[in-house]
Amino acid sequence: MTSSAKAKQPPTPKKCDICQKHAGIMLCAGCEQMFCRKDFNEHRQQLSAQLDIIIREHDFLKENIKQTCDATSSRLFDEIEKWEMEWMKKVKMAADRAREEVHDIVTEPKQQLKRITDDIQLRMAEEDFVEYDLDRWMGEINQVSTDIKTISSTIVIESGDECEWKTMIKVRKMEHQSHVSKSPHRNEKRDSEVKQFDFNKLKEKPQRQITVDGDYGSMGVSDMNLLYCGKDTLCLTDRTGHKTNTLQSGGLDVWDICWSSFLDRFIILTKRTLHSLNVQRSEVTQIKRVSNKTKADFSRCTCSYQTLLVSFNHKGSVIEEWDMSGEWKIMRRWQPPVSCQANEEIWNIRFSCDGSHLVVTIWVDGQYNQFQVRDQSMNILNNITFSCSTFGYFLLSLPNGQYLTHERQNKKLHSIDRDGKLQETVTYDKCVRSTALLGQRCLVIRTTDNKLCFHDL
């Protein structure tokens, strides 16, 4: 080795990733950065501050969970107790009725014997009896005696043990989602799984047809039932067209009907009030929290998950958004020019079947009709303009993402795809008042001559 050989140079120390001045002497295993002592201490202090925020959020959430769960449990327990008390009343009424029936049966021999006694005493007083009467009285006494001996074994209590107690009351958790899906992407796979409707079958004779009465054309459907308006009645029927139940409407001036899977009830809208129909109990109850305090009448309603939308019947129509969970709170109120223009009237509103969009029909008397697809902020995504008419256009959402629209008292039905583009127009053989889809394929058409026509598409 010569003296000219260069000595080996030590490696240059790595700088601190933060200040780029001092040597990095400490490595953070989380962010994998090198720190000098000063910046490392500050880094740890920042992490500690973030941890404090997380702990505060945790403690806040813990308290919120407790309060929310306690309030929810209390409300639901109250509902269960109310149901329990109602059924206890019904059971007591049934038991009291059974007691009356037992009393009537077991006192029947007494009544028979009293009639015999009265007859004997009357004849004895008047000395008006012969051998025939003696034989008759003895036969009647023997018959009552026989009845008394067998009365205990001939009376049977039929208590109806076949009642399905497990299904009389159930608790289920509904999917929570805002009134319009936050994701703008459609479920293309789900849409493709639903077969396209063959509207040409509307040119054929309906599979079923029933005659209805009354001038109100509103209809609503659940998974199993169709609810429609008769004259002073609300009528339930299934897809076979057989009437299953008729309820007195109590003079309700029904303007619209929709089904709420969230409440498991039909929602019934009148000019000034909102009601719910419990199908199982056949009870119509006014929802007093939703009241119309304006000069304009209610017009149309539609719901998706826990959200209900209600429109008003006037130029420059307003749309109200209500939260149906809990105590029914109004969340938003859209006014012109967001809801519609000042000279326009909202004729109908419907959620798409998946709740991702809102469809609206606009009517301007003597000028035009419009079909509009909107997003959650009421922004118009697409629209179709129809010619002016005497009435506006009604709406029906279909499960494959399509829509069906028609003018009242017109024979033409327009099919519109999920992007808001007109697909086809079918001419029905009668003027259409309203439409509803029962199940996945059964289109129900109420005609202006008061027929309900069931078409399997």
180 assigned to some structural domain: no
Does some domain include residue 323? Answer: yes
Per-residue pLDDT tens over the stretch 167-194: 667 777 665 444 444 444 444 444 444 5
Where does the pLDDT of residue 435 fall: very low under 50, low under 70, confident under 90, or very high at 90 and above? Answer: very high
Region class of 303: left (phi > 0), else alpha (psi between -120 and 50), else beta: beta
Among 356, 370, 347, 366, residue whose Cα is nearest residue 416: 370
Would you say residue 2 lies in a domain? no
Could you tell me the pLDDT band of residue 367, with boundaries at 50, 70 and 90? confident
Could you give the number of structural domains in the chain? Answer: 3
Same-domain pairing of 285 and 387: yes
Mean pLDDT of the chain: 83
Q: CB atoms < 10 A from the CB of 383, how many?
A: 14
Q: Please, which residues have CB within 8 angstroms of residue 366's CB and are 6 or more apart in sequence?
A: 388
Token pair for residue 119? 């007859």
- In tens, the pLDDT along 131-169 reads 888 888 898 888 888 888 887 777 777 776 556 666 667
**Which residues, 6+ apart, have CB-to-CB distance to 251 below 8 Å?**
232
- Residue 24: pLDDT band (50, 70, 90) is confident
User: What is the predicted pLDDT for the residue at 149?
Assistant: 84
Q: Are residues 92 and 210 in the same domain?
A: no
In a domain, 345, yes or no: yes
Residues 457 and 199 sit within 8 Å (Cβ to Cβ): yes
Residue 159 in domain:
no
> In terms of domains, do 369 and 409 share one?
yes
As to burial, measured by CB atoms within 10 angstroms (0-12 exposed, 13-18 middle, 19+ buried), residue 212 is buried
Q: What is the CATH number of the domain that holds 315?
A: 2.130.10.10
The structure tokens listed for 209 are 């047809």
Do 94 and 118 lie in one domain? The reply is no
Q: Do 270 and 285 fall into the same domain?
A: yes
Indicate whether 185 belongs to any domain.
Answer: no
CB atoms within 10 A of CB 269: 28
Residue 311 pLDDT > 90: yes
Asked if 27 contacts 33 with a C-beta cutoff of 8 angstroms, the reply is yes
Do residues 283 and 366 share a domain? Answer: yes
Please answer whether residues 319 and 333 qualify as being in contact, where contact means their C-beta atoms are separated by less than 8 angstroms: yes
Q: How many residues does the chain have?
A: 457
Answer whether residue 31 shows pLDDT above 60: yes
Same-domain status, 82 and 55: yes
Lowest mean pLDDT among 162-171, 233-242, 315-324, 434-443: 162-171
- Give the torsion sign (CA, 427, 432, 436, 442): negative
Is residue 174 included in any domain, yes or no?
Answer: no
CA 410 to chain centroid: 30
> Same domain for 203 and 282?
yes
For residue 47, give every residue at least 6 positions away whose Cβ sits within 8 Å of its Cβ, in sequence order, or none: 30
Q: Which amino acid is at 361?
A: T
Residue 82: domain span: 15-106
Residue 236 sits in the same domain as residue 352: yes
Same domain, 261 and 283: yes
**Domain co-membership, 427 together with 298:** yes
